Structures are given as structure tokens and as C-alpha cells.
Amino acid sequence: MPAPSTDLKVMSFNIRYGTADDGENSWPNRREAVLEFLATSGYDIVCLQEVLYDQLLEIRQEAPFLHWVGVGRDDGLLDGEFSAILFDSRVVQSIASETFWLSDTPEVVASTSWGNTLTRICTHGSFELRGRPFEVFNLHVDHESAISRLKSVELLLERIRSRGEHIPTIVTGDFNEGESGPAIEAMVRGGFLDSYRTIDPDGPEQATYHNWVGVTLGDRIDYIFVDGSISIVSATIVRENPYRQFLSDHYPVAAFLEL
């Protein structure tokens, strides 16, 4: 009898928070396209940054099979941006989850350190895919303070190392930093593989933030990292969609993995 498939499709997507005044790109004008994209794209894990609680409710209404773990960064409940991890409940089981703050006091709700003026968080979920355990960490690090970005990654790596028993681990997020930045280099030194660069080691750096104008060259600031126990089958920046409009000011990034 063949072993159960452990193929896992993962996406990381800065969805752009729903209350932003983006003119023609504001949430009400792109809501339908984004909801359809998330409901039909077939990803097992969808890690969102900047998403607000009301947007999560709309996603759940459109795609009832997409459950989520995570809390709002401002009160540890529903207020403020989430770094939510959505999962297809038809194939993925949620075992446990937590959110910690990217600061010197990670258990203190809404705490900040290291020069970041905005509260930053990481949501961690433990999951199973057809009996195979895996871990996901989804974070959104600071856009202004390079020290905060580096310290946030160091805290993340410390939390991962402290778990003891090794379980296949995926790290996703908006790192607000190109691949030559110190926080990204720290991820690689910490034993994680950049899924996109693993598949395309020699290609030019490709922009994932396009500021609603569709640029393709520039810093790739959105990432899917995996540890060495996970095979990377493919990885891409998702630029094509059938909706004739941008889904966000970031392109989603995706990876097809084998646990």
C-alpha cells in the first residue's frame, strides 16, 4: 500500500490591510478578486501578513475550509494586523498555535524593542499533513529598523532551536529586506533554505513589493524558508492572475514542498 502523499503547497502573501486608503486599489475594490484567488488557488497553507480580523472573516465566508491561527498584534486578540496562518482543514490538521511579539519581551502583548515604532509579531502553528507533523512560523518584520529586523530573526531562530525535538519547519513572511540583508543572511546561517533561490540560484533578484505599479526588478522581500529536512520541488513569485487588477501591493510567493 503506498504511503500517504506529503506534498504541501505553501503561499506567503502580504494582503495589504483592509482599512488602507489606496484609492482604486482599496480593499472594497479588490475584495472579490482576492477572495476568489484564495478560495480557488489550491494552497494547503496560506500565510498572510497585514490581514485584519474583518478580512479574515470574509475569507472564511468565501472559503469555509480555510481555517486560521493567529491573533491581532495590538491586543493579542482581534485588534490590529495579524500574521495569520490559514490552512486547508480538509487535509491539514492544526495541533497548537501561539503568537509572540518581536521584542525583548516576546510574551508581552504589543511590546516593541530595537527601534521599531510599530508592533511586530510572529505566529507559530504546529500542524499535521496526513499524519506527518510540521511547523510554520509566519512573521512581518519592521520596515524601518535594520537592527529590529536582525534581532527579530535572531529571536525567531532561538525559539526554533529551543523546541528540542526536530520537526520539519517552514518560515514565511514579509522580511522587508532584500536577500543580501543581514536578517536574510542570518536565516541562511541558521540552517534555512530560501526556497526561491534554491530553485533559481543564478537568476536576478526579483521584486515582490511593487507598490501597485507592477515592477518586477528590485528587492525580493517576501520569503518562504524551509529547513534541510524538507524537499523544495518548485518555488515562484505569483505575478499572473486572471482578475486584471493587482491583488495587493505585494506579489504572493509560493513553494511546492515535500515533507
In 10 A of CB 53, how many CB atoms? 18
pLDDT at residue 191, as a whole number = 97
- The residue whose grid cell reads 474583518 is 54
Please check whether residue 38 is in contact with residue 66, taking contact to mean a CB–CB distance below 8 angstroms.
Answer: yes
Query: Would you say residue 165 has pLDDT above 90?
Result: no
User: What local confidence, expressed as pLDDT, does residue 4 receive?
Assistant: 66
Query: What is the overall mean pLDDT for the chain?
Result: 96
User: How confident is the model over 47-70, as a mean pLDDT?
Assistant: 98
The mean per-residue pLDDT over the stretch 177-206 comes to 96
Q: Cell digits for 78?
A: 482581534
**For residues 131 and 140, what is the distance between their CA atoms, to the nearest angstrom?**
29
Mean pLDDT of 245-257: 98
Instruction: With a cut of 70, say whether residue 141 has pLDDT above it.
Output: yes
Tell me what the mean pLDDT of segment 224-232 comes to. 97
With cut-offs at 50, 70 and 90, classify the pLDDT of residue 236: very high
Q: How does residue 75 score in pLDDT terms, banded at 50, 70 and 90?
A: very high
Helices (H), the chain: 27-40, 53-62, 146-161, 182-189, 195-199
Q: Look at residue 1 and tell me whether its pLDDT is greater than 80.
A: no
- Using only C-alpha atoms, the chain has a radius of gyration, in whole angstroms, of 17
**Whether the predicted pLDDT of 2 surpasses 90:** no
pLDDT-derived band at 224 (thresholds 50, 70, 90) equals: very high
- When pLDDT is cut at 50, 70 and 90, the band that residue 205 belongs to is confident
Give the pLDDT of residue 5: 73
List, in order of start, the domains of the chain with CATH numbers: 7-258 (3.60.10.10)
Gap between the Cα atoms of 2 and 201, Å rounded: 33
State mean pLDDT over 150-173: 95
Q: Coil, strand or helix: which one is 200?
A: coil
Mean pLDDT along residues 150-169: 95
The string of DSSP letters for 168-194 reads -EEEEEE-SS-TTSHHHHHHHHTTEEE
Instruction: Pull the grid cell for residue 6.
Output: 506529503
Tell me the average pLDDT across 146-162: 97
So what's the pLDDT on residue 6? Answer: 86
User: The pTM is what?
Assistant: 0.97
